[in-house]
Chain A
């Protein structure tokens, strides 16, 4: 009888203990998972990491602007049972993407320089660099053709004859 009582109390404590500790543990991990699920639906939050401790979510990583920073915070704050959010996100504006412009300029360069075989041009990040040799009389024509390709800058390193 005594043994039985002891055993049942022990079992109860064990059960309680396990349930309490497992409840707490699962809770933060679950919350973190839920927050990650929310973030996964946001393409702008690709650089964001979330961790949850004691139902407080902490955001780290980078976003492209302040609006995204605030938006990510509110989205995580909206996850059920998250008490508060510590927003440690850093705003890093993305470098402009010149790939499309460079491709368009590259296509245009072939046509623009067809009549000027001694001059070469390269483009990077929207900046056209001229090298080679150019006659004074054709320089303005070349500059006009290149300007029409709408570059960011034209650097004329060609030798003017």
Chain B
């Protein structure tokens, strides 16, 4: 079955938000930004349903949530606290922690992986962006 057929449901959602879909023959690449974490989660739910345990290796779903350069972000770790580090990397010393579910301030973005934040105690540092979700 063609990949565009297998992932039709996902491609339809991508189409609604202008997310690029590229079919290289054996891997489908979905790449772009969506307006909210809900849409991103919905796309991952579809992916996980169409390809249980992500076993096929036939899709790269790289969707980011459109986040302004500054604003409020929520800590979306599984349950643990989120490390705030001195610099953008896990080799950097930890300068603070943000609790699961906390809403903290996004100050800027070092790159797609590491965002500069300020926690509610005023401590500034870098957090791994996958654990942060912009809040409106």
Closest-by-CB residue of B relative to A151 is B60
With a 10 A CB-CB cut-off, give which of B26, B53, B60, B62 has the most chain A CB atoms: B60
Q: How far is the CA of A112 from the CA of B62 in the complex (A)?
A: 14
Query: What are the residues of chain B within 8 A of A160 when measuring CB–CB?
Result: 53
Query: What are the residues of chain A within 8 A of B57 when measuring CB–CB?
Result: 153-156
Main secondary structure of the interface of A (DSSP, over half): helix
CB distance from A149 to the nearest CB of B (A): 8
Q: How far is the CA of A140 from the CA of B41 in the complex (A)?
A: 10
Total of A-B residue pairs, C-beta within 8 Å:
59
Query: What are the residues of chain A within 8 A of B55 when measuring CB–CB?
Result: 156
Interface string of A98-112 (1 = CB under 8 A from B): 000000000010111
Quick check: is A75 within 8 A (CB to CB) of the other chain? no
Residue contact B78 to A154, C-beta cutoff 8 Å: no
Chain B interface residue number, banded = 20 to 34
Quick check: is A138 within 8 A (CB to CB) of the other chain? yes
Quick check: is A150 within 8 A (CB to CB) of the other chain? yes
Query: What are the residues of chain A within 8 A of B54 when measuring CB–CB?
Result: 139-140, 143, 154, 156
Query: What are the residues of chain A within 8 A of B91 when measuring CB–CB?
Result: 110
A-B contact pairs, 19 of them (CB 8 A): A111-B113, A111-B128, A138-B78, A139-B53, A143-B44, A143-B61, A144-B44, A144-B61, A145-B130, A147-B60, A148-B113, A150-B60, A151-B60, A152-B27, A152-B60, A153-B26, A154-B54, A154-B60, A160-B53
Given contacts A110-B91, A111-B90, A136-B53, 15 further A-B contacts (CB under 8 A): A110-B89, A111-B114, A112-B130, A139-B54, A143-B54, A143-B61, A147-B61, A148-B129, A152-B27, A153-B26, A153-B57, A153-B58, A156-B53, A156-B57, A160-B53
